[in-house]
Amino acid sequence: MTLGVLVGLAILITILDRTGNMDAALNVIRDPVTAVTGWSSTQTDAVADALEGPRDLDAARDEITILQSQIDSLERENEELREIEGEYQLLLDLFNRARQAPEYSRLTASVIGRDTNQAVRSIIIDKGSDDGVRVGMPVESARGLVGQVYRTTQNSAQIVLLIDSSSAVPVRLGTSRATGILRGSGVGGAANIDWIDLRYQIAVGEVVMTSGLGGRYPQDLVIGRIIDVERREAELFQSAIVQPAVDFDSLEVVFVITDFEAVDTTIFEEQTE
């Protein structure tokens, strides 16, 4: 029995030596309490790490929530900056337009309403008679002619757009120098020029401007470009379709030309007996 125990111990010592566990075994023999305490500490740390996992997950979720809030805040700031950039560009365009034609005094007004009746194309601005706005004053934007003041209150005014079916604007073409009367179509955003003499060769792309004839509008206010020409040799006159330069559906700010004096020429239209 003793021999068997010794042989077993020899085999165990050999295995511990070859596997590198001899020092650990000797430590247990020398100080069993410390060895057991170390093993218990290792197991405790493993259990603590397992329990720490859910706490780390909660912290990660809280951090994700904070980061998402920061992202939302940055996106709002970006949208505000884009809005400021758009307003800056609009004001820059208006400033450039005023600089191009400094001979007129302009009152800047914001669009605060649109006519709900689709048969009537008009807008409402936030300037009225208290601001010096009068019926008949021309209204333009940075891109071109918008229309004319139709009626006013103390702090607002209605502007009939040049594409309204009741509008009639004397115009001149930039290249051919032909003249005619631009009338709004009411819907679709386009307008037609009637009463163009057949002797003029009208080209698609010509710039259309106010002619100043009739005394209701200043000269050389941009209106748009020719996009189609209707010419029939059997007719006395030809006509053209105009795409206005102004996007009337997106108007935000306009100019009221306050120092242009319209000329009343109706007396010359009466038939003399």
Q: Which residue carries 């209605």 as its tokens?
A: 158
Question: pTM value?
Answer: 0.65
Q: What is the per-residue DSSP string for 31-56? A: -HHHHHHHHHHHHHHHHHHHHHHHHH
How far apart CA 241 and CA 259 sit, in angstroms, is 31
Residue 32 has a pLDDT of 56
Asked whether the beta carbons of 238 and 176 are under 8 A apart, the reply is no
Low-confidence spans in the chain with pLDDT less than 50: 272-273
Residue 273 has a pLDDT of 45
Residue 4 has a pLDDT of 72
Strand partners, 108: 255
- The Cβ of residue 5 has, within 10 Å, a number of other Cβ atoms equal to 9
Q: pLDDT tens digits for 206-231?
A: 999 999 998 899 998 999 999 999 98
Residue 61 has a pLDDT of 83
What DSSP designation does 159 have?
A: E
Q: What is the per-residue DSSP string for 62-131? A: HHHHHHHHHHHHHHHHHHHHHHHHHHHHHHHHHHHHHHH-TTS-EEEEEEEEE-S-TTS-EEEES--GGG
Residue 39 has a pLDDT of 53
How far apart CA 156 and CA 126 sit, in angstroms, is 5
Residue 188 has a pLDDT of 65
Q: Which residues contact 126 (CB under 8 A, 6 or more apart)?
A: 109, 110, 112, 155, 156
**Burial, 61: exposed, middle or buried (Cβ in 10 Å; 0-12, 13-18, 19+)?**
exposed
Residue 62 has a pLDDT of 83
Mean pLDDT for all residues in the chain = 81
How far apart CA 238 and CA 198 sit, in angstroms, is 6
Q: Note the CATH architecture for domain 107-260.
A: Beta Barrel (2.40)
Per-domain residue ranges of the chain: 107-260
